[in-house]
Amino acid sequence: MPTFTALRAFEDNYIWLLRNEDTLQAVAVDPGDARPVISWLGRHPDYQLTGILLTHHHRDHTGGVLTLKGATGCKVWGPANENIQGIDHALADGDTLSLLGCELQVMAVPGHTLDHIAYYCDAPGEPWLLSGDTLFAGGCGRLFEGTAQQMHESLQRLAHLPDDTSIYCTHEYTQANLRFARAVEPDNDDIRVRLEVVEELRRDGRITLPSSVALEKRTNPFLRCDQPPVIEAATRHAGRATAPGVETFAAIRAWKDIF
């Protein structure tokens, strides 16, 4: 399994740097800004950036690609989208690739954007997921291009990965997400305890990631749209009965947008 380092970018982005400590190769995930990656490489001159993985086309995830590619000659993998410059290998659902000694599976997860993909590694005993802006710790991405149906299906697909899968998303939104989750399920002790831990981490300026599939299924309202407390909260907020699944998801996503 590669070593993961979170490089901070902009206000709340993380650029995940994956590296193989034997080969001294590194891969950057969603580098919206080249500077944090170049700075890290400058402090670790033995490492070579050999690849970039992109999850979707938003500028805060792709803005540093051409600079890094020009500086290092690395290859770029990402979703097929004409708005993303610099991609060498366009990926679609079901594709696989080998990087840093890992076999990655490409999963189409539309909703936040129509081109969004995630990368899953089924490493024995240590599976992990690069979820981009689809599944966050305690939340999910806004519906900028896709529908509630698409996002709900994408999240359910990720929720069916093994419980011990580590989730590496790309924003430090956990505290705000869990405050919303607490409003949806005020009696959920798992959310209460997790929020207390996260608030302490953030007071110290520490990262709240990675998460896990098991933890998200217990505390993330967007993965709990079939649970009676979430359905009841969605119904109260929407002012009408919401059915389990997509209707409940759509209601709480709209609620989160104005929370």
Query: What local confidence, expressed as pLDDT, does residue 223 receive?
Result: 98
Catalytic site includes residue 257: no
Binding-site residues: 56, 58, 60-61, 112, 133, 171
Binding-site residues for Zn(2+): 56, 58, 60-61, 112, 133, 171
Burial 223-250 (b: 16+ CB within 10 A, else e): bbbebeebbebbbebbeeebeebbbbbb
- Structure-token pair, residue 155: 């999240």
Output the pTM of the full model: 0.96
- Mean pLDDT, residues 151-166 taken together: 98
Q: Which amino acid is residue 229, in one-letter code?
A: P
- Mean pLDDT, residues 137-164 taken together: 97
Q: Which of 30, 33, 115, 133 is catalytic?
A: 133
Catalytic site includes residue 12: no
* Cβ atoms within 10 Å of 46's Cβ, excluding its own: 6
Backbone phi and psi for residue 58, each to the nearest 5 degrees, phi listed first: -60, 145
Q: How far apart are the C-alpha atoms of 157 and 140, rounded to whole Å?
A: 13
Q: Is 84 helix (H, G, I), strand (E, B) or coil?
A: coil
Q: Which of 30, 33, 57, 60 is catalytic?
A: 60
Domain spans of the chain, in order of start: 3-219
Q: Is the pLDDT of residue 83 over 90?
A: no
Query: Angle at the Cα of 82 (from 81 to 86), degrees rounded to 5?
Result: 90
Query: Model confidence over 184-218: pLDDT tens digits?
Result: 999 999 999 999 999 999 999 999 999 999 999 99
Query: What local confidence, expressed as pLDDT, does residue 178 receive?
Result: 98
Confidence of residue 151 (pLDDT cuts 50, 70, 90): very high
Q: Is 165 helix (H, G, I), strand (E, B) or coil?
A: coil
Catalytic site includes residue 88: no
Is residue 76 within 8 Å of 69, Cβ to Cβ?
Answer: yes
In terms of Cβ atoms closer than 10 Å to its own Cβ (0-12, 13-18, 19+), residue 186 is exposed
Q: How far apart are the C-alpha atoms of 101 and 86, rounded to whole Å?
A: 23
Query: What local confidence, expressed as pLDDT, does residue 1 receive?
Result: 84
Distance of CA 50 to the CA centre of its chain: 22
Catalytic site includes residue 160: no
Q: Is the pLDDT of residue 81 over 90?
A: no
Q: Which of 30, 56, 57, 152 is catalytic?
A: 56
Confidence of residue 102 (pLDDT cuts 50, 70, 90): very high
Q: Is the pLDDT of residue 15 over 80?
A: yes
| Fold entry, domain 3-219 | Metallo-beta-lactamase; Chain A (3.60.15)
Catalytic site includes residue 171: yes
